[in-house]
Amino acid sequence: MLNRPVIMQPYQEEIISMFSELLAIPAPSGTEGEMIEFIITKLKSWGYNPVKDHTGNVYVKIEGERNDISCCLAAHIDEIGLMVTKINDDGSLNVERVGGSLPWKFGERPVEIFGKNKTIKGITAMGSGHGGRKTDTQIKWEEVKVVTGYTPEKLQEFGIIAGTRILPLRSDCGPHILGEEDNPLIAAWTFDDRMGAVALLRLLNILKEEKIRLKIDTTIAFTVQEETSCFGARTLAQKIQPTYFIAVDGCPTASHSPLEVDERPGIWLKDRRQFYSTELIEDLTKAAESVGVELQRAIFTGAASDASSVGLTGVADQLATIGQVRENSHGYEIANLEAFENLFKTLKEFIAS
């Protein structure tokens, strides 16, 4: 349920409304079908003819003034979660993470268990707080179980088996608006990467509404399985082989990268896989500056993105990752609401002629 104590501008209302729609849709990595169909339906309602490939990626190709070079803007639609590894005799579930889920981030909380025949609720259980474990000892996923209250036979009837995905209860995910009315924060479990998808959906909508002509041939894509392997982006890039591949994702705060959670989006300089393209970074920076936006520069030693994964395939000439700066990465994330509008304005300026 949205906690919104401040008065919103129309564009802020649009961001929150679209984000809330996407946040309500479960899309654990590898099982993004409901989200895929939602995006296809929305794009068709705006007059697009989206393509869905056999991997599950959804994308729209738009002709530009030049076709000798091309650009792909991509946001992934999957999210971190859990997966059932074993059903115990008492009906509790052993689990393993899907993507970067960490027990100390996930916590003891209500969850939804997406059986083939029925979705049920459960509670993650991490043991007693009255003895045994030291307070400063991190728990591991093999020590966590999900309590269901059902027998193994009943769980089998629901289609809950090894590989079944688990997510936090959708009603607990937010979003919430915090802080000052003239400069609010937004928080949710999680932005990653539904807010990137919001930016690209808004972009596609305004391209139709304002009949904007693009500089170069552009593909706007919604990719799958980023959290586990970046498989969707890699298969898409192999198909379309763009000159520029730009991942629209977040910039998590990190001790080695002095980022501020404010109205400025971030742009990645390097991650654990490779350096990003200096020329493309500068072009995006100039586009931002031309609409009055400053980009923060981010350096990561542990993170990676769809763009750097595409770089490993060698099918795109230049790479970039751009997005909002966020606190509490892979947890209950927090960002400045205005950063999402500034990201949108930067991308619009970059692709429009």
pLDDT, tens only, 257-316: 789 999 999 999 999 999 999 999 999 999 999 999 999 999 999 899 999 999 999 999
What does pLDDT average to over the chain?
Answer: 95
The residue out of 141, 170, 199 marking a domain boundary is 170
Q: How confident is the model at residue 256 (pLDDT cuts 50, 70, 90)?
A: confident
Q: How confident is the model at residue 168 (pLDDT cuts 50, 70, 90)?
A: very high
Q: Which two tokens stand for residue 209?
A: 């509404």
Residue tagged 């619009």 (tokens):
348
Question: In angstroms, what CA-CA distances link 281 with 77, 136, 350?
Answer: 24, 41, 11
Res 100: pLDDT = 94
The residue out of 142, 170, 198 marking a domain boundary is 170
* Exposure on the CB side of residue 212, measured as CA atoms within 13 A: 20
Q: Evaluate whether 328 touches 334 at the Cβ level (below 8 Å).
A: yes
Confirm whether 2 is domain-assigned: no
Of the candidates 236, 215, 204, the one whose C-alpha atom is nearest the C-alpha of residue 68 is 215
Res 307: pLDDT = 98
Q: Which two tokens stand for residue 158?
A: 């629901």
Looking at the fold, whether 347 and 264 belong to one and the same domain comes out as yes
Across 30-35, average pLDDT: 97
Res 131: pLDDT = 66
Domains: count for the chain: 2
The residue out of 145, 170, 195 marking a domain boundary is 170
Query: What CATH number is given to the structural domain containing 55?
Result: 3.40.630.10
Looking at the fold, whether 129 and 271 belong to one and the same domain comes out as no
Res 214: pLDDT = 97
Per-residue three-class SS string for 66-83: EEEEEEEEEEECCECEEE
Across 132-160, average pLDDT: 90
Phi, psi torsion values for 139, nearest 5 degrees: -85, 155
Looking at the fold, whether 225 and 235 belong to one and the same domain comes out as yes
**Coil, strand or helix: which one is 247?**
strand
Looking at the fold, whether 315 and 258 belong to one and the same domain comes out as yes
Residue 292 burial (C-beta neighbours within 10 Å; 0-12, 13-18, 19+): exposed
Confirm whether 1 is domain-assigned: no
Of the candidates 71, 75, 53, the one whose C-alpha atom is nearest the C-alpha of residue 242 is 71
Radius of gyration of the CA atoms of the chain, in A:
21
